[in-house]
Amino acid sequence: MVEAARKVAEQIKAVAGRILEVPAEEIDLADRQAWAPDGRSVTFAQIALNSLHHVHQHQIMGIGSWVSPDSPPPFAVQYAEVTVDTQTGQVTVKKLVMVLDCGMIVNPQTATGQVEGGLAQALGYAVSEEMLFDERGRMVNPRFGDYRIATADEMPEIQVRFVQTYEPTHPFGAKAVAEIPLDGVGPAVANAFYDATGVQVQTLPLTPERVWRALHATKK
């Protein structure tokens, strides 16, 4: 990301230098503008239009990558609050809280959104999403009407917290954050259900039918 930004900055300075008629190395970038030493400036929008639509027709862009030889694991703790309707078997997740050690968080808003998206996906695995097949191996719920995915208004309260530590194998001390949100929701929901009912269900998702059968099996 930083390498890509450096390349873009160099291109911006080159175009701004051409517009302002000063050497590119004398250009400073600040406040979404390129500044000449004498105080004259052009906006990034003007630079982009000039680069793309004038003499050179060059689109300003940069690509950068960095791959670590190590893959340090992130760590997380997952909490789930559920309510159980013992008459119907419906398990409703009311709240999800996840606390993560993903190294240093470079962009808190993006990282939080990544975790929230993972929690939403994992919630489906925990309580509703299941591929069902008949005796001939054909999927019997291939449509989203039957393959149950929660809608936005059905999502529980979600809280995300980061405990930042510095990871020495990364240039900015970061670790992965994309996959670990998928890991904890299912076990946390299953454990919350067990805490609420005293019944342990070993198979996910906790669909109403599966839960109802488990609850009534203990009464026999």
What residue ranges do the domains of the chain occupy? 2-53, 75-217
Which residues lie below 8 Å from residue 15, measured CB to CB, with a gap of 6+?
47, 50, 51, 58, 60
pLDDT above 70: residue 219: no
pLDDT above 80: residue 220: no
Mean pLDDT of the chain: 93
Fold of 75-217: Aldehyde Oxidoreductase; domain 4 (3.30.365)
The mean per-residue pLDDT over the stretch 178-192 comes to: 96
Q: Could you read off the pLDDT of 104-132 as tens digits, one per residue? A: 999 999 999 999 999 999 999 999 999 99
Confidence of residue 62 (pLDDT cuts 50, 70, 90): very high
Could you confirm whether 3 is annotated as catalytic? no
Confidence of residue 55 (pLDDT cuts 50, 70, 90): low
pLDDT above 80: residue 28: yes
CA 29 and chain centroid, separation: 31
Place of tokens 């719920």: 141
pLDDT above 60: residue 186: yes
Nearest to 9 by CA among 32, 29, 37: 29
Confidence of residue 53 (pLDDT cuts 50, 70, 90): confident
CA distances from 161 to 12, 77, 181 (A): 37, 10, 12
The residue from 3, 154, 157, 179 that is catalytic is: 179
